[in-house]
Chain A
């Protein structure tokens, strides 16, 4: 069996189940608020429906607008290839790929923002400016969390940071790693445009952040963006789960179940957060992000001791 077989299977597993995560989150929310809600596989149906439609392009847009969704999805898939989902190794790994992970995701966001600005709509420009404002802070938090993992394991690549070295270090540094995991989860809510930062179910242009950037995309383009969002959600969920409970010593089967369980719990937690609190006012969002960055930094300082 080639050495990349297990990482590839796990990667495909994550890519295949990623659209379930927003579904589970919204289903949890419906159940907690006493509604029946959409089925868990709603996003698959949406993607299928969108993929069959044609795309409408405004005459003011250029090739940048058409390239944006493809660039976004490519970037997210490239980032996914760097994460060791099975707890051992990733498809691609090199020293310092944690930084690459953060900036490949950053490139995807950059492409989406360019696409939004290309429409020439003032609304999309507003959404883009908000998204970038929050994203700069989130990126700092992400790198700080990775720095904590680097200090904990002494490894410079995600394969080491989330693989065996982390599992060896875990019993001694449980509290700080749990802190880092909670910080990552809080960053997930900001990065994936979930409730305290952005409300995926609202369609009021004045308060939208992420949604407003994709207003002009339609058909297959919108499907690509929605799928990329789901994969990003799954990525962050899987990384947070791997930090909270490393699975390097588990058998492949148990590890796969652990991965799916972690992603399931993560989306349920998102649903619980969404049904228990309202989104924050726009001016409060930096404070929220600072708090989640502080959690990661706190873990870092504890590890430095």
Chain B
């Protein structure tokens, strides 16, 4: 069980790197979708797989994070007709290196955190997800990419939540899932409207907004 969950966490970390290193929006969305799938499978290997709590959480996570949200993002990408991020603030090579630094930092920090139940890869991967999400969110211009970064960030927070799986009420987790879904849904609509208004979804253009 332990090695299986380690393998899933490893996959999640690798998908973080994939999102950092790719210039194609569709590849970035695919990385986020894979991350959602692995994230959904993870509770099954961390806790007693037969409890309803865990099974519903896994099914809900996969449905929202691996199916619904990527589909929504693809829709937004198609509507805005963008394929790739042409000029990110920080180059792909540099962001990959930043991700590598983030990996080191998250492992170093995870060892210093006060005792948590799962000493394995869970905490470092969660931290890595947080930092990666932040990097993507800050360094990319295209709004679709920024939403993907937000999702990666949220996945990191979700991983943190898994350490407390037994103590957090089921309703709260489903509520968070729903919040994320609504959040990304609204972002998708906003992306669509930005595109219609400005003929581009580059958020750099938003700085030109001013009162009439």
Using a CB–CB cutoff of 8 Å, the interface residues on chain A facing chain B are 174-175, 179, 286-287, 290-291, 294, 297-298, 301-302, 304-305
Total number of A-B contacts with CB less than 8 angstroms? 36
SS class, residues of chain B in contact with chain A: helix
Which residues in A have their C-beta under 8 angstroms from that of B103? 297-298, 301
How far is A290 from B92 in the complex, measured between Cα atoms in Å? 10
Contact A287 B100 (CB under 8 A): no
How far is A297 from B17 in the complex, measured between Cα atoms in Å? 12
Contact B21 A291 (CB under 8 A): yes
Contact B3 A294 (CB under 8 A): no
User: 14 extra interchain contacts, Cβ-Cβ under 8 A, other than A175-B7, A298-B14, A305-B107?
Assistant: A287-B21, A287-B96, A290-B21, A291-B17, A291-B21, A291-B96, A294-B99, A294-B100, A297-B100, A298-B13, A301-B103, A301-B107, A304-B107, A305-B124
Which of A174, A179, A287, A298 meets B92, CB within 8 Å? A287
Which of B92, B96, B121 meets A294, CB within 8 Å? B96
The 5 tightest CB contacts between A and B, nearest first, are A290-B96, A287-B92, A301-B107, A287-B93, A294-B100
> For the side of the interface on B, what is the size category?
20 to 34
Which residues in B have their C-beta under 8 angstroms from that of A286? 93
Q: A175-B3, A290-B96 are in contact. Are A301 and B104 (CB under 8 A)?
A: yes
Asked whether any CB of chain A lies closer than 8 Å to the CB of B67, the reply is no
Which residues in A have their C-beta under 8 angstroms from that of B104? 301
Asked whether any CB of chain A lies closer than 8 Å to the CB of B44, the reply is no
Which residues in B have their C-beta under 8 angstroms from that of A294? 17, 96, 99-100
Contact B10 A179 (CB under 8 A): yes
Q: A298-B103, A301-B104 are in contact. Are A290 and B13 (CB under 8 A)?
A: no
How far is A304 from B121 in the complex, measured between Cα atoms in Å? 12
Which residues in B have their C-beta under 8 angstroms from that of A305? 107, 111, 124
How far is A114 from B54 in the complex, measured between Cα atoms in Å? 63
Which residues in B have their C-beta under 8 angstroms from that of A301? 103-104, 107
Q: How far is the CB of B12 from chain A (nearest CB, A)?
A: 12
Which residues in B have their C-beta under 8 angstroms from that of A174? 3
Contact A175 B6 (CB under 8 A): yes
Asked whether any CB of chain A lies closer than 8 Å to the CB of B97, the reply is yes
How far is A287 from B14 in the complex, measured between Cα atoms in Å? 15
- The chain B residue with its CB closest to the CB of A288 is B21
Q: How far is the CB of A294 from chain B (nearest CB, A)?
A: 6
How far is A294 from B10 in the complex, measured between Cα atoms in Å? 13
Q: How far is the CB of B169 from chain A (nearest CB, A)?
A: 32
